[in-house]
Amino acid sequence: MRTPDSRAPSRTAASPRVAPGEGTVGRVDRLTRNPVRKETTVAVRAVRGATQLEVDEREHLLERVAELVRTVLHSNDLTNDDLISVIFTATSDVQSEFPAYAARLMGMTDVPLLCARELEIGGGMPLVVRLLAHVETDLTRDEVTHVYLHGAAALRRDLAHVHAVPDETQA
């Protein structure tokens, strides 16, 4: 039987103390137990994007997905370090390669990437790869630019901040 004095110290007992009037401490460094103060505050945001392929061929898919990822990053002033994770989806007619492989080829080796299949809904656009990137940014939700390239530009004409690149044949 444990006595009150033999209990393990509580987490709060090991927490650093802050002098009155100095405010609260956010995160604590796990090794030194010293307060970690951030200079700037960033938010987690989600950025959407999509591109349509002309054909389901591996090299074409890798080019289009790389273009999509580059445009999402550039349009929102992001780097790989800002990425938390990226989810890629593809319609069932895309079978030549995993879309996430294009991101790996671009150097995203430490970003969690996931591929999934889009729902098959009648009248849906064929040969589409979508992405949902979770990012750390100082952009507000209204400032985030979602990216729809090539035929996929028709998917979200309702969004205020969209970087859309139509195919030359549609211009």
Q: Which CATH architecture has domain 43-170?
A: 2-Layer Sandwich (3.30)
| Residue in 114, 110, 84 with CA at minimum distance from that of residue 98 | 114
pLDDT at residue number 10: 42
Q: What spatial distance separates the first Cα and last Cα of the chain, rounded to whole Å?
A: 79
State how far the Cα of 149 lies from the Cα of 151, in Å rounded to an integer: 6
Model confidence, pTM: 0.72
- Please report the pLDDT score of residue 166 as a whole number: 63
Tell which residue, 115, 63, 110, 118, has the closest CA to residue 88.
115
Q: What is the pLDDT along the chain (171 residues), one digit of tens a residue?
A: 545 555 444 444 443 444 444 444 456 667 777 776 656 678 999 999 999 999 999 999 999 999 999 999 999 999 999 999 999 999 999 999 999 999 999 999 999 999 999 999 998 999 999 999 999 999 999 999 999 999 898 887 676 466 666 666 554
Q: What is the pLDDT of residue 39?
A: 60
Tell me how far apart the 2 most distant CA atoms of the chain are, in Å.
80
Q: Where are the domains of the chain?
A: 43-170
Q: In this predicted structure, what is the pLDDT of residue 24? A: 43
Residues 134 and 87: their CA atoms lie apart, in Å, by 8
Name which of 69, 46, 36, 72 is nearest 136 in CA terms. 46
Sign of the CA dihedral with 47 first, then 48, 53, and 59 last: positive
Place of tokens 């445009």: 71
For residue 21, the model assigns a pLDDT of: 44
